[in-house]
Amino acid sequence: MSDLARLQQQFVAFLQGQQSDFPQLIGDQPPVATDIRLNIYHNAYRMRLRETIDNDHPMLGKYLGDEFYDILVANYIDTYPSKVKSLRYFCDAIPTLLAEQQPFIEHPILSPLAAFERALLTAFDATDASTIGINDLASLPGDQWPNITLSFHPSVSVFEEPINAVATWQHLKSDKNPPAPLAHELPLYWLIWRTPERLTEFRNFMAPEMVLLKHFVNGGNFADGCDALAEYLPVDEIPQFAVQYLQQWLTNGLVSKLTAH
């Protein structure tokens, strides 16, 4: 290993608080002590990462309070040092840490709350794509309906919620006391997307709509999608509901492309 490589490894190990000979490589420059010079870098390293967590997870921070938040920040920086070029992705493993480490694992609301904040961020800067409107559906000849497939805007995602994380987020966002954590008997599903006006939106949606959306995401056509809904809706009501879902997606700006095969 070259001297330059060794110096760099020692420097970064020092920043991470690991055993390092780095201080011995530093020239003495009075009147400022070497410790002070080294700590400027050490503090800046941790401060910058902390600011990133602050920016990405304001509601999680509010929920945790200062004491637990400080523990989270310290543990996260030590357990998941940044491997990414952009700080935009530094906090991606926060939901994982909250689901794995004490004392956070004792509070099952935390990981989904953090995951929801990350899902909103993902929608915020997802890849751009044009969207189509309700008129594109209206002009579709009736005989082509069974075979249509849809492509969704890249910002569209489904957030599966095992516990009342979204309600908690909403209360914190409105500066209200969050509700007590309450696990759902069955998961709730939230549709998240970015509108054509570049605003991030989300809404709760029921199993049939979610099933149809996932069916289209997986490349399925309208006719097969209606078949998939038979498990959830009376057969004679399926076409009406399916069309309503499509209309709503188009109105909300969720659909990038409609293909009539």
Partner 1 sequence: MINDHFLGFGLGLRIPHFEDVLNTEHNVDWFEILTENYMVGGGKPRYYLEQVAERFPIVMHGVSMSVGSTTPLDTQYLNHLKQLINDVKPRWISDHLCFTQANGVNSHDLLPLPYTEDAINHVAQRIMQAQDHIGQQMLIENVSSYLTYKESGMTEWEFYNEVCQRADCLMLLDINNIYVSARNHQFDANDYINAIDGKRVRQIHLAGHTDYGDYVIDTHDHDVCDPVWDLYRAAVKKFGAVSTMIERDDDIPPFTNLVDELNIAKRIAHEELPDLSQWNKEQVHV
Point out which residues bind partner 1 (CB under 8 A).
2-5, 7-9, 11-13, 15-16, 25-27, 29, 31-32, 34, 36-38, 40-41, 44-45, 48-49, 81-88, 90, 124-129, 154-155, 194, 198
Q: Which is nearer to partner 1, 83 or 261 (CB)?
A: 83
Cβ closest to partner 1, residue 90 vs residue 145: 90
Are 78 and 16 within 8 A, CB to CB? yes
Instruction: Write the CA distances from 185 to 75, 111, 142, 188, integer angstroms.
Output: 32, 18, 40, 9
Q: Which is nearer to partner 1, 25 or 206 (CB)?
A: 25
* Shortest distance in whole angstroms from residue 119 CB to partner 1: 14
Cα distance between residue 34 and residue 27, in whole Å: 8
Residue 31, preceding peptide bond in cis (omega within 30° of 0): yes
* Total residues found in the chain within this entry: 261
* Nearest distance from C-beta of residue 127 to partner 1, angstroms: 3
- Please, which residues bridge with residue 149 across strands? 259
The residue among 15 and 59 lying less far from partner 1, judged by its C-beta, is 15
Amino acid at position 44, single letter: A
Instruction: Give me the least distance between CB of 32 and partner 1, in Å please.
Output: 5
Closest CB to partner 1 among residues 102, 130: 130
* Rounded least distance, CB 70 to partner 1, Å: 20
User: Do the beta carbons of residue 151 and residue 231 sit within 8 Å?
Assistant: no
- Of 11 and 232, which CB lies nearer to partner 1 in the complex structure? 11
Smallest distance from partner 1 to CB 96, Å: 18
How far is residue 26's CA from residue 214's CA, in Å, rounded to a whole number? Answer: 58
Could you tell me the smallest distance in angstroms from the CB atom of residue 67 to partner 1?
26
Report how far residue 144's alpha carbon sits from residue 36's, in angstroms, rounded to the nearest whole number. Answer: 72
Instruction: Report the amino acid identity of residue 223.
Output: A
HSE-up (13 A, CA, CB side) for residue 51: 7
CB–CB of 181/107 below 8 Å? yes
